[in-house]
Structure 1
Amino acid sequence: MTQPSNPVLGLSRRQVLAGAAALPLFTILPRRADAAEFTYKLATGQDPSHPVNKRAQEAIDRIKAATNGRLDIRLFPANQLGSDTDLLSQVRNGGVEFFNQASSVLSTLVPAAGIVNTGFAFSDEEQVMKAMDGGLGKYVRGQIEKVGLMTMSKPWENGFRQITTSTKPITTPDDLRGLKLRVPAAPMLSTLFAALGASPTPINFNEVYSALQTKLVEGQENPLAIIATARLYEVQKYCSLTNHVWDAYWILGNRKAVDRLPKDIQEVVFREFDKAATDERTDIAALSKSLRADLTAKGLQFVDVDKKAFKAALGKTSFYKDWRAKFGEEAWKLLEDNVGVLA
């Protein structure tokens, strides 16, 4: 039996199908009009519930809307794409286009980034933000960009770091002696706790919970928001409010990936990440006030300490002198212009 003819072209159905099969695939399945021109990744080390990821996702959504879908950024929280040190390499080689990194770990690549982590330098948030939105922050951003990375906004808030332990509360500097304490792979924090007599042990963040759970280390130090969202209170008993170091988060971009974006899209990205930075700072400030009560209810015992005693103990060592020599006079002056003389 013959195939019915196509009423328009006068072709049989078999001829129509054969002809279609010979056509290139893209003529049959054209690219959707709303498909992204650029699909990038943003990796973070923080739990999905952390304000970093909440505000990053909001920025991503605004960027997609403002660019009419031309740039689609996918968020990968909680070290899904690798440890902090792995991701730092990936963002440099372009495997990941954007990455949220704490200054303390970034300092392994950009030593100047660690100046904001100088032990017991900053007294409060107001002092920190004046420095980071001013000359000190501008200097650090310049140093970061010298290694081929781009800072996509003003610094986000990681917060003041506190010490948690499972064996004993830390109330005085002497209590740190011999304490096996997890620190990030950050020279500043290792030397700080070594100077105070502790035994700092660098461990990537994605391994911290298990290291505490198995007693590989007795304690760790992080801002309260991290202690809460990473559920470290489940494997720690005490939290000493030392405020020993303030830490920033930087949204870093691979320079080639950013340069590939048209200028109008770049402007949207910078604008929205900057807005997200302001929102995230507000979140962390609010959490710093509420988390003590929340974590106390979960069984964490808080200890108020005399921070001046810790700073005085540190001042008796060569810590400040050594880091001044490493950072250089220009950077150290910018720091002391904001916090006063460190000695």
Structure 2
Amino acid sequence: MTTKSAFSAAILVAATCIAGASHTEEIKFGIGIPEGDFPEYNALVRFKEYVEFKTNGDITVRLFPNNQLGGEREMIEMVQQGSLELSFPADGAMSGFYPPMQVWSIPYLFESAPVAWKVLESDFAEDMKDDILATTGIRALAFSQNGFRSFTNNVRPLIDPSDMEGLKIRTMESPVYMELVNALGATAVPISGAEVVMALRQGVVDGQENPPAVVYGGGHGEVQRYYTLNEHTFGLHVIIANDDWFTSLDPGHQQVIQDAAMLMAWTENLQKTEGDWRFSRQLEDELGMEIHVSTPDEKAAFKEITQPPVLEFIRENVGDDLVDRLIETVDRTKSEIYGG
């Protein structure tokens, strides 16, 4: 090969490499959950695998778990500003940017996970996604199940609403959750998540409320005796994307991202529900917690006391129309599933 031929071949190889590199885009996906066998992280891996497979590697997804990029609020801001393509905040954090998210916190809104799943894909949910985009500039790709929240404590099993009287219960720093606990005759004590286990160990509070996966993984079960799965509220996750980035993709890649978000949501939905009994059994077998699964009648007694005052608070903050539309959607969905 002549020097000229070798030079031309080198240019061709370099051009080919550059052209190949130009077709590959790395996107960042940040979440708060650490890497491991958790529903959220497993769902995130499904997203990554689906996108990379369906785009033939044209899009690669770099994962940033365990709050590597900051807390949920910081990551939402990064998505909004465009320095992060995707994130996965909880409804509580998202309500700081979009207050109508509070409507999902109505106590005993959902009687079961399957009802919730259908509502999360309803016209009501689609309209909310559109409104999130119009209001915040953030594209909501899908809603998923963060988990049903239930009470733990160190005093007694919580079978009847009267069993809550006099207890000090840690809540998130949320007026909705504080209103719910206080309505039951207990005292709501807002404490940051990082300080909950210490507060329980020292007796600052008698109990707290979280889904089974959090109670097990967060160490709450190591310092609590009783766990009542009364499922008083349903927490959501929102898969969000920077809209400028999303709309810059070609239509085929937009579809892949949207499909991957739905797969991610379905993965978390199923694994969160499986986690209710998986982690409850581990709490019972490994840590000796006494587990009680509330019956429909027991839940109805709690709902009768907690829903009216919390509904009043939520209506004042998000408006009657939004509340009424969600309740109507839930009622219609229950009829479709259970009949009647």
Residue 28 (structure 1) shift? 11
Amino acid at match of 1:312: E
Provide the residue aligned with 2:9 in structure 1: none
Correspondence list, 1:158-173, <5 A: 158-166=146-154, 168-173=156-161
Give the aligned partner of residue 317 of structure 2: 326
Q: Look at both structures and tell me which one has the larger radius of gyration over its CA atoms.
A: 1
Please provide the CA RMSD for this pair: 3.3
SS of the counterpart of 2:145? strand
CA contact (8 A) 1:169 1:240 kept: yes
Identity %: 23
CA distance in 2, matches of 1:335, 1:72: 37
Partner of 1:122: 110
- Which string of whole-angstrom CA distances, capped at 9 and with x for unpartnered residues, describes residues 266-295 of structure 1? 211111121222233222232223332222
Corresponding residue for residue 148 of structure 1: 137
The Cα shift of 1:161 comes to 1.0
| Residue in structure 2 matched with residue 195 of structure 1 by the alignment | 183
2:31 is matched with 44
Q: How many Å apart are 1:31 and its aligned residue?
A: 4.6
Mapping of residues 100-119 of structure 1, within 5 Å: 100-119=88-107
Q: Does 1:302 align with 2:291?
A: yes
TM-score, normalised on structure 1? Answer: 0.80
Deviations 1:227-257 (A, max 9, x none): 2333432233321112100122111112223
**Which structure features the higher share of helix residues?**
2
1:24 maps to none
Looking at structure 2, the residues matched to 211 and 89 of structure 1 have their Cα atoms a distance apart, in angstroms, of 31
CA shift in 2, pair 1:200/1:272, >3 Å: same
Cα deviation per residue 1:32-83 (whole Å; 9 max; x = unaligned)? 8357643222122224321121121122122112223222221222323222
Question: Which one of the candidate residues 232, 253, 257 is aligned to 2:245?
Answer: 257
* Contact 2:171/2:188 (<8 A) preserved: no
The Cα shift of 1:150 comes to 0.8
Instruction: Give distance in 1, aligned partners of 2:58 and 2:171.
Output: 40
From the superposition, tell whether residues 33 and 240 of structure 1 become closer, same or farther in structure 2 (CA, over 3 Å): same
Cα offset for 1:137? 1.5
Equivalent position SS for 2:237: strand
Alignment map for 1:241-320 (pairs within 5 Å): 241-299=229-287, 300-305=289-294, 306-315=298-307, 318-320=309-311
Separation in structure 1 between the aligned mates of residue 167 and residue 30 of structure 2, nearest angstrom: 32
SS in 2 for 1:298: helix
Q: Per-residue deviation at 1:94? A: 2.7
SS in 2 for 1:162: strand
Partners of 2:268 and 2:114 lie apart in 1 by 15
- Equivalent residue for 2:220? 232
Change (3 A) 1:194 1:259: farther
Change (3 A) 1:69 1:208: farther
The alignment covers a number of residue pairs equal to 320
The aligned residue for residue 326 of structure 2 is: 335
Cα deviations by residue, 1:286-311 (Å, 9 ceiling, x for unpaired): 22233322221122221344222221
Amino acid at match of 2:290: Q
Q: Are residues 28 and 278 of structure 1, via their aligned partners in 2, closer, same or farther at CA, if it must alter by over 3 Å? A: closer
